Amino acid sequence: MKAKKYLSYLAAAVVVYWVITNPETGADLVRRAAGLFGDAAVALSVFVNALI
């Protein structure tokens, strides 16, 4: 159980280091993730409106 916890911390540290050393790439990743969430929200609203 402790190994899983430490691996999670290590993965988070690697991601933080990667974003700090490559801010443009990190910003692009955040933009893409936000776009995916936005697309999912639009699809969900279309689905709910179709039910009404």
Is residue 35 assigned to a domain? yes
Output the pLDDT for position 8. 93
For residue 2, pLDDT beyond 90: no
Q: Token pair of 26, please? A: 């990190």
Is residue 6 assigned to a domain? no
Per-residue pLDDT band at 48 (split at 50, 70, 90): very high
Is residue 46 assigned to a domain? yes
Is residue 14 assigned to a domain? no
DSSP assignment, residue 9? H
The Cβ of residue 35 has, within 10 Å, a number of other Cβ atoms equal to: 10
Q: Token pair of 9, please? A: 């911390």
Is residue 18 assigned to a domain? no
Per-residue pLDDT band at 44 (split at 50, 70, 90): very high
pTM comes to: 0.55
Q: Pick the residue with more confidence: 11 or 19?
A: 11
Is residue 40 assigned to a domain? yes
Output the pLDDT for position 25. 87
| Angle separating helix axes 2-21 and 23-51, nearest 10 degrees | 110
Contacts of 24 (CB under 8 A, 6+ apart): none
